[in-house]
């Protein structure tokens, strides 16, 4: 089974490598004693994230995510990195392909299917819904430092 590789860790950062996107299908995610999802890996724990979770998943042609699901508090962003398919939210069918991004609120009943002829690879980011306020704008939160860049 494929494993996440730690590249480096420091006081204020962590860096990992999940491998090539074409290798995501080699991961197996255990979801319980009888449920294992081929081609899915969660990365947040390896990175030590504190405000979000993220996962990569590969669906082979014709494969779907296996079940509809919702969340208690998490909103999700789905980024289609490769391939094409159909994203279902609350019974609405949305065509997606490389470059598509879908946001789903916690109560949205969601599932994804690869309708293309090649593997579909996606990145999903989960975070607590309604966690950002106007004060959290990236334009006001970021601080530009007056230090010289050193490469």
In terms of C-beta density within 10 A (0-12 exposed, 13-18 middle, 19 or more buried), how is residue 112 classed? buried
pLDDT over 90 at 82, yes or no: yes
Q: Per mean pLDDT, which range of 37-46, 79-88, 99-108 is the poorest? A: 37-46
| Predicted pLDDT at 144 | 87
Q: Is residue 137 part of a domain?
A: no
Q: Is residue 146 part of a domain?
A: no
Q: Is residue 12 part of a domain?
A: yes
| Predicted pLDDT at 34 | 84
CATH number, domain containing residue 20: 2.60.120.10
Q: Is residue 148 part of a domain?
A: no
Interval 3-23: pLDDT, tens: 999 999 999 999 999 999 999
Write the DSSP symbol of residue 4.
Answer: P
Q: How many domains is the chain built from?
A: 1
Average pLDDT over all residues of the chain:
94
Cα separation of 106 and 76, whole Å?
A: 8
Q: Is residue 138 part of a domain?
A: no
Tell me the pTM.
0.90
Q: Is residue 10 part of a domain?
A: yes
Report phi then psi at 9, rounded to 5: -140, 145
Q: Range of 114's domain?
A: 5-130
In terms of C-beta density within 10 A (0-12 exposed, 13-18 middle, 19 or more buried), how is residue 56 classed? buried
Interval 54-64: pLDDT, tens: 999 999 999 99
Cα separation of 134 and 7, whole Å?
A: 35
């Amino acid at each position: 089974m494929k494993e996440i590789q730690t590249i480096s860790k420091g006081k204020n950062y962590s860096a990992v490598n999940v491998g090539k996107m074409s290798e995501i299908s080699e991961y197996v995610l255990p979801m319980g004693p009888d449920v294992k999802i081929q081609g899915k890996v969660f990365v947040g724990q390896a990175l030590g994230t504190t405000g979000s979770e993220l996962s990569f998943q590969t669906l082979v042609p014709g494969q779907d995510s296996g079940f509809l699901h919702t969340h208690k508090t998490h909103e999700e962003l789905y980024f289609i990195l490769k391939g094409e398919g159909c994203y279902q939210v609350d019974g609405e069918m949305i065509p997606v392909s490389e470059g598509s991004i879908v946001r789903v609120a916690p109560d949205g009943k969601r599932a994804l299917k690869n309708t293309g002829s090649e593997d579909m690879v996606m990145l999903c980011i989960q975070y607590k819904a309604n966690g950002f306020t106007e004060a959290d704008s990236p334009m006001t939160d970021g601080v530009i430092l007056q230090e010289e860049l050193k490469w």
